[in-house]
A and B are shown apart, each in its own frame.
Chain A
Amino acid sequence: MGTIRIHNPGLLTTVQDLGRFGYQQFGMPVAGAMDTYSLKLANYLVGNHRGEACLEASIMGPEIEFLADALIAVCGAEAPLLLNDLEIEMNTSLQIQKGDVLRFGMIKKGCRLYISFAGGIDIPILMGSKSTYLRANIGGFHGRALKLGDELSIGDAPRKFVQRSLKPMDLLPIKTHQHIRFIAGSEISRFSFEGIKTFLNSDYTISPKSDRMGYRLSGAKIEHKDGADIISSGISNGAIQVPADGEPIIMLADHQTVGGYTKIANVITVDLPLLGQMKAGDTIHFSEIRLNEAQALLKAESQQLNDLCNQ
């Protein structure tokens, strides 16, 4: 087992994996990585299983001292990566030596960095997952974001080093204006024709009041037919609720399990990582696709990841 010491925690760095399943019926949110695609890529690069826990760093990368040799990778947002003040590459497996210090320059593109460690992060599995659910202070590293001075146990560097790298076409297409695809929501009939038209024809801006629970969007108001409230009902990741004020909210990783507002749409699963790399000020244009098309896209993505691993 190796250890890392946090010299600078960044803005919001938490341990996340693919989420905590099996307890949503008890009100327990799934949490997990906002960009699961980049997390999976980072794990592939160090030979971990796809869903191993990584560090998710939002807006600003952490400064980490390695107290033992390690094998790591960084995927997701684009930022200068410095090892002992020498610039190195993202999206490739990196051999780290005891005493090395890793830090990041300002994020140039995207929002969240994923740092994987060969052998994973050695923290307790809580209710089946290593993901941090911040609101209830549970899971991950003591249920909270990392702080200055924290020390975490990580896996050992493997004895045989296998170099893996990603090509540009393997990476998530990060943009500040994205086309996000959706399936029509279960309460679409609660919206007026004008309202639906507005939703399809407008560009929405991610407001600063956005976080891991959801993104509040500002833009043209969406009109309801007869009110925005429903009897509390289950919510999927990517569900777009529209309260009475007409401004949509996209439910994301830390969303509450049930909600009381009409849902106009559900973002398709393959597009959720795109949202995970967006920040306040970025814009979104929505378009509808069919259920079978969305599922075909999921299949294609899974195949792509399998092909990568089998190279």
Chain B
Amino acid sequence: MIQYFPSGDSAFLVKFGDEISIDIHQQIRSYVIALTALKLEGIIELIPSYTDVLVQYDPLIIPFSQLLEQLKKAAENCPEVQSPEARTIRIPVLYGDRFGEDIEDVKLHTGLSEDEIVQLHTQSKYLVYMLGFTPGFCYLGGMNEQLATPRKKVPSDRIKAGSVGIAAGQTGIYPIESPGGWQIIGRTPLKLFDPNRTPVFLLQAGDYLEFYSISNEEFDQLNGNN
């Protein structure tokens, strides 16, 4: 059952459930499409997450009672929504070598060899549930449990942009340089976030992502093209 909560005087939270699941994710995807299709004046933007959509609006253009009506209408329209086929984005990664500074720790913890780590990491098709934390950072689902490794006890001051890491049962990519505690197993030469490019962001909620392994030379080639 969908719940509607005001989130201050300029946003509404539309909540679909209490857990991370593909089903809830797809409901959210359909809802975003249905709400966008209403072309409501006064909606500023939508922020989808694991279990809800935050609808930010201008109350001077659309007061809350009117908005709530329309939010419910969008929910009713969902069954008719044809979600476009999800994109699959392939991300090249140079595993281990000069950028996988924590791959030894992952090997120690999981008991896997570097080749096995790379194989398991590249085998899965990951779902981008949402973005947040920093610009371009994707919350991915679908990592193989065998790869799970706890976060670093002492976080790193500086994790370089493009770093691919593991933290407990999650995997992800750091789009910009930042401090962090993830175990870094490799790096992608792709820029997930480039404010001077169209598109600014390579990935969005609803995309699927696949990693593939590249060589040192290929990394330098692709890096040069940024």
Residues on A close to B: CB < 8 A? 21-29, 126-127, 135-136, 138-139, 182-183, 185-186, 231-239, 256-258, 263, 266-269, 291-292, 294-295, 298-299, 302
The closest CB in chain A to the CB of B4 belongs to: A186
Knowing A234-B13, A234-B53, A291-B9, say if A299 contacts B137 (CB, 8 Å). no
Knowing A127-B200, A234-B13, say if A26 contacts B8 (CB, 8 Å). no
Residues on B close to A: CB < 8 A? 5-11, 13, 15, 18-20, 44-54, 56, 59-60, 63-64, 130-137, 139, 175-176, 178, 193, 195, 200-201, 204-205
Q: Tell me whether A234 and B52 are in contact (CB under 8 A).
A: yes
Q: Tell me whether B9 and A294 are in contact (CB under 8 A).
A: yes
Knowing A25-B47, A25-B205, A292-B64, say if A234 contacts B54 (CB, 8 Å). yes
> Which residues of the partner chain B approach A238 to less than 8 Å between Cβ atoms?
8
- Which residue of B45, B49, B204, B205 contacts A233 across the interface (Cβ within 8 Å)? B49
Q: Tell me whether B9 and A26 are in contact (CB under 8 A).
A: no
Q: Tell me whether B11 and A258 are in contact (CB under 8 A).
A: no
Q: Tell me whether B9 and A269 are in contact (CB under 8 A).
A: yes
Q: Tell me whether B13 and A186 are in contact (CB under 8 A).
A: yes
Which 9 pairs from chain A and chain B are nearest by CB?
A234-B54, A266-B8, A258-B132, A234-B47, A294-B9, A186-B5, A236-B11, A27-B131, A28-B135
**A254 CB → nearest B CB, Å:** 12
Q: Tell me whether B131 and A268 are in contact (CB under 8 A).
A: no
> Which residues of the partner chain A approach B10 to less than 8 Å between Cβ atoms?
236-237, 269, 298
In Å, the complex CA distance between A299 and B58 comes to: 11
The closest CB in chain B to the CB of A240 belongs to: B8
Q: Tell me whether A266 and B9 are in contact (CB under 8 A).
A: yes
**B4 CB → nearest A CB, Å:** 10
Knowing A25-B47, A231-B49, A233-B49, say if A291 contacts B6 (CB, 8 Å). yes
